[in-house]
Chain A
Amino acid sequence: MKPILKVQNLSKDFIKSLDLVAKGLNRIGQNYKEEVVHAVDDVNFSIFKGEIVGVVGESGCGKSTLGRMVAGILSPSTGSVEFDSSQANNKETPSALRTQMIFQDPFSSLNPRKRVIDIVTEAPIYHKLITPSEKRAFATEMLQRVGLDPDTLERYPHQFSGGQRQRVGIARALAVSPEFLVCDESIAALDVSIQAQIINLFVDLKDSFDLTYLFISHDIGVIEHISDRVIVMYLGRIVETAPIEAFVKKPNHPYTQALLAGVPRLEVGKRQYEPISGEIPSPLSPPPGCHFHPRCKFAAARCKAEKPALREIAPAHFSSCHLNEEA
């Protein structure tokens, strides 16, 4: 089977260029260098049609940058994101509309001065998917799809609660009939009881619109529930990708193990936390070799010098750890 989305050697560097003073000082012999953040560092993966692929990692690991590049909002520094249009549901959809994104904050991602009807129909009218005369009927249908009352068409975003606003954001993304949705922390800003509603909505929409998802979240409980496959990132690199059963039961990389051990769980009850020590290093100067070695309890000399490659340790289960070779 061919993947519907293929990401190859994708990297994104953010460069802070030198200011005037530093440039001047460099002229008289000082040596100031530009600061480079490798937000995403040589990432490869593919996604099959109908899959929900979860991306987990802590803040600063590059998961949002990755999502933005997949959605086409950011252009990659190197590498490519390829969408296989032969597998598209609707072959006529322009390629720019195939991937849509749903953002974290439903308060800042909607234009506060536009009515819901205009927010939802702006893109399809612009791309001539519908005519302006069909606007009302189209918006009514979209709102019903995401579980909102069509009576609210004329309202402004501030008249909605957080969960309802997130539904408007979802309706806006679906309005151009995308094939692929990138959800970047789309439920993180919502209350617990509303989170469950939106997660259920995502799953329903996947079935009714035949969608494929890249689901980015720091919430491992949510990722475990919704994803088919999980990508774990640490400081810009993929450390492990695994099918969900293997991720939950047999996490391979020490970082994944630590991450899973740190998740508070209802069913575990009262316990003594035994956290991994240390902080996430600055992405400006990541440690050499394996990025995780300063916090890893298994770290050996080799980990400090050599970057581990992502290797297949079981079918569809990849991990980048030197320990796997010695075993």
Chain B
Amino acid sequence: MEPILKINNLQTHFFTKAGILKAVDGVSFEIGAGEIVGLVGESGSGKSITGFSVMGLVDPPGKIIDGSINFKGKNLSALSNDQMQNFRGNRIAMIFQDPMMTLNPVLRIETQMIEAIQAHDSGISREDARIRSRDTLGLVGISSPDERLRAYPHQFSGGMRQRVSIAIAMLNRPDLIIADEPTTALDVTIQGQVISEMQKLCRETQTALLWITHDLAVIAGIADRVCVMYAGRIVEQGLVANIIANPMHPYTQGLMGSVPSQNQRGKPLQQINGMVPSMLNLPAGCAFQNRCNYANEKCSKMQPDITQLADSRQVRCFNVPAGQQL
């Protein structure tokens, strides 16, 4: 089946006074209909910029300089801003981390939702748009949606607000939703509620979902496939179950090892030494080399290429055991 989104060798660079910052450097992955793909990485790894690039939301000095973003057969990176407007919020929707920043505080929920519908469908009447808004609010688990439509964002709690922004993303029944840290600002019990709604919606509507987060444990719970990013590159991607069971890239191993539940109580946590290198002067060769326990001379000279493994996994590392390689 043809994937909904196919990103090939995406390069988004920021041309700053201090130099060229390669925020996204050769990222390739695909998402099929109804599939949930997790994009995991630490702050500054380029995971959000990948999402913004798909939405066409990269602001100067940032620029997509190479690669293709193929959405249902159309290359989005070649479209003008006006053409992109037909996709944004319509076929592709985005959910952000902080719902207070995405909702307009001085407009009623109703106004904002109807606006989002009418922006892409000028023929629909206000009353019809209102009914659709109400039904979508109900869909994401907001009780008495009729009254809630009249409310302002500040009258909702954090979890409710995030549901509203999910509802707005769902309004035009998009083919793809990009969710950028959607549950990071929420409490554990509310996070569970939001995840469960998203799982249900994706299953029922066959919407593809790109879930961007720093939390590998959340990805383990919902995603089908996962891409692990480090310093602008995907270092490992494959099926979640395989990667959790047997991480190949030293960074993925370190990331999983530092999750407390993977460690015995009372023992020190496995840690990744050092810190993320500055994106402005990445070392030659592999970006992870100075934190890696397996790094050798080759790693400091050459960028590792993608190695295809037997379980349809891709790893960017020289030290993948020979028996695993395809």
Q: In the complex, A192→B240 CA distance in Å?
A: 18
Most buried by A among B190, B199, B216, B273: B190
> A258 on the interface (CB 8 Å rule)?
yes
Contact between B265 and A275, CB atoms less than 8 A apart: no
> A139 on the interface (CB 8 Å rule)?
no
Beta-carbon nearest neighbor of B275 in chain A:
A161
> B58 on the interface (CB 8 Å rule)?
no
Which residues of chain B are within 8 angstroms of A16 by Cβ–Cβ distance? none
With A193-B271, A259-B188 in contact, is A273–B221 under 8 Å at CB? yes
> A274 on the interface (CB 8 Å rule)?
yes
Contact between A272 and B260, CB atoms less than 8 A apart: no
Contact between A262 and B272, CB atoms less than 8 A apart: no
Contact between A264 and B220, CB atoms less than 8 A apart: yes
Beta-carbon nearest neighbor of A189 in chain B:
B43
With A265-B220, A275-B192, A279-B160 in contact, is A224–B261 under 8 Å at CB? yes
Beta-carbon nearest neighbor of A58 in chain B:
B187
Q: In the complex, A221→B294 CA distance in Å?
A: 28
Pair count A-B, CB < 8 A: 141
Contact between A270 and B258, CB atoms less than 8 A apart: no
Which residues of chain B are within 8 angstroms of A199 by Cβ–Cβ distance? 260, 269
Beta-carbon nearest neighbor of B241 in chain A:
A269
Which residues of chain A are within 8 angstroms of B260 by Cβ–Cβ distance? 196, 199, 221-222, 224-226
Contact between A271 and B188, CB atoms less than 8 A apart: no
Beta-carbon nearest neighbor of A273 in chain B:
B196
> B107 on the interface (CB 8 Å rule)?
no
> A194 on the interface (CB 8 Å rule)?
yes
Interface of B is mostly: helix
Contact between B271 and A266, CB atoms less than 8 A apart: no
* Chain A: minimal CB distance from B159 (Å): 6
Q: A-facing mask of B218-244, CB < 8 A → 1, else 0?
A: 101111100000000000000011001
> B214 on the interface (CB 8 Å rule)?
yes
> B189 on the interface (CB 8 Å rule)?
yes
> A276 on the interface (CB 8 Å rule)?
yes
Contact between B261 and A265, CB atoms less than 8 A apart: yes
Contact between A225 and B261, CB atoms less than 8 A apart: yes
Most buried by A among B199, B220, B223: B220
Which residues of chain A are within 8 angstroms of B214 by Cβ–Cβ distance? 191-192
> A47 on the interface (CB 8 Å rule)?
no
Beta-carbon nearest neighbor of A259 in chain B:
B188
> B20 on the interface (CB 8 Å rule)?
no
Contact between B268 and A267, CB atoms less than 8 A apart: no
Contact between A268 and B221, CB atoms less than 8 A apart: yes
Beta-carbon nearest neighbor of B215 in chain A:
A264
Contact between B160 and A225, CB atoms less than 8 A apart: no
> B254 on the interface (CB 8 Å rule)?
yes
Q: List CB contacts (< 8 Å) of B139-177 with chain A.
A: 157-160
Q: In the complex, A291→B187 CA distance in Å?
A: 17
Contact between B244 and A192, CB atoms less than 8 A apart: no
> B42 on the interface (CB 8 Å rule)?
yes
> B270 on the interface (CB 8 Å rule)?
yes
* Chain A: minimal CB distance from B226 (Å): 11
From A203, A220, A275, A280, contact of B196 by CB (8 A): A275
**Hey, which bits of chain A sit against chain B, CB under 8 A?**
58-59, 161, 163-164, 191-197, 199-200, 203-204, 218, 220-222, 224-226, 244, 258-259, 261-277, 279-280
Q: Can you give 9 contacting A-B residue pairs, CB < 8 Å? A: A193-B276, A195-B258, A196-B270, A221-B217, A263-B188, A267-B244, A272-B199, A275-B192, A279-B160
Extra 8 A-B pairs, beta carbons < 8 Å, given A270-B222, A275-B190: A58-B187, A192-B259, A200-B268, A221-B259, A264-B217, A264-B218, A264-B221, A265-B261
